[in-house]
Every structure is written in structure tokens, then in C-alpha cells.
Structure 1
Amino acid sequence: MVRTVGMVTAFIGASAVSACGWFATYEVRPSEPVPPPPAPSTVTETVPQPPAAGPVAPGTTPAGPSGCFAGYLTEKSSVQLCAESGQVYYYGSSQAGTIVLPAYQVGAGTYQTESNDGYVYTISPEQLVITRDGAVVAEQPVLSAGY
């Protein structure tokens, strides 16, 4: 813009430029560069993650009340079954978080939770099965069981 003012001044004279006013005060400023869009992310988990209460370290067992009678460890989850005041509770944890739900015995050594936003957890000494609205979303073999 300075060159334009200088050229206008040379052609029409300094007094004419001053009289217009806008030549003397107009300033062109470059606009801020627009940042590039973020790189696309890659999703590595193909199984939907059920609702959870918060993050926990992988492979850790959630703290449960006294009366825990079964504990299971899978590659991605750990589960404790605990009885409190006559009710069995499912204490589960994974990288997605922790969850505590009432559970009921549905077979010999097999327990199932109440629905949590459509998710139901079924644990047995052989496997943890997670379903949502009746469809299986994950099956995890039990690596160790105890108590």
C-alpha cells in the first residue's frame, strides 16, 4: 500500500493525497494464515465400548466390597462378583473404565448383569460376553479365575 500512496503522490501531488484522507490512513494487513485441518485419526478398536464410570489402569481389579466370591481376568477386562446384603454385584474394569451393576445367577457359575444403556455383561469361568440390545459386541475368553 505504501507504494500505491507513493505513486498517487507522484502523479497527483502530496496536497491532493492529503485532501482525500483515506489514502493517508488506509493500511492493508495480511490476513492470518488458516491452520491446516487436523490429520484424520485411525480407529483401532472395532468393538463399541460400553458406558463406563471412568478410566482405570488396564488389568486392574476394581475395589469391591467384602463378600467377593469370584474373580475373572480376560485380556481386556477384569471382573469381580461380590455379594452385599443378599445382592450380587458385578464389578468390571477395562481401559474404557469401571462399572458396577447388579447381577443375577443364570446358570451354574454364570452371572448376568442388569441392562446398562442396552449393554448386558455375562460372565462365566470360561468367558465374558458383552451384548448390546441382544447382539454380541464382544467375547473375551477368561484367562484366569479365582477365589
Structure 2
Amino acid sequence: MRMRLKRQGEDICLRESEINLRVDDRGPKGLQGLPGYLLNVFQGDQTLFMRSDEQCEIWRIFSPVLNTIDSDRPRPLHYDFGSRGPLLAYRKAERAGFVFFATDEWHQSEETLEYTVKKSKQLIGPHTALKPVRDPRSKRPSSNP
């Protein structure tokens, strides 16, 4: 099935995209809710979609923040891994009256990178259609240090 979908980003541009609805590629569980969603769309039910007034309100709230980031180019505040974040933000929250009930202690869990990779491989299993397909030519430089 081919549909026209909005391209990623701020611009409102449509692009043609192919949607794979083959059960043999994704297994029967991959399409469980799809017939209901499509029926809702055809009946005009917009409960799962953002209304234009919601989008306008989001842009009204975040535009000043995004403009400030673009113009001032603030540097991120560094903080220790596992902490609540930068000490400056922590102190500001305290001054605003926020009360922290838990300690700042960080405890190592089972969920290390190796554990997460192993679990995700188990969850994905043989369903190759669920694995992300990346084009090595389209690698973007990482913004993380």
C-alpha cells in the first residue's frame, strides 16, 4: 500500500511512502491494532491524532525556547552519571520549593549496555522486518561526546 505521509521535520511537506502490511513479514501480532486504527481514520475519529490547535499551542510554548537556543547557543551543563542532573538545576528546583524524597545515590542495575543489547536481540528474534535498516552512506555525525 502506498500513502502520502508528512516528511520528518518542521516543514509541512508530503512524500509518497510504501507501507508494508504483509503478515508473513511481521507475524500476526504485528498488525493486531491496525484494522481498528484504519477504521477510526475512515470514520473521522481523531482521538489518536494531534489537532491543529494543539500543534499551535505547542509551537507557542516552545518557539521562544528554540529561538533562545538558536541565538544564544548555550553550552550544556555537565553532571555526574546517575545523579539528578546539574547541581545548578537541583538548587533551582529546591529554591522553587521542590522537595526530593529519595537520596541521590545511584545503584548499578542489571541493565548495562551488554544486557540491553542481549535482550533486544532476544526480543527481535527472527523477525528481520522489525530490525532497523540503516544505510551506511547516510550516517550523521554524532552530537554526543
**TM-score (norm. length: structure 1):** 0.15
More helix by share: 2
**Structure possessing the higher radius of gyration over alpha carbons:** 1
TM-score w.r.t. the length of structure 2 is: 0.16
Structure with more strand by fraction? 1
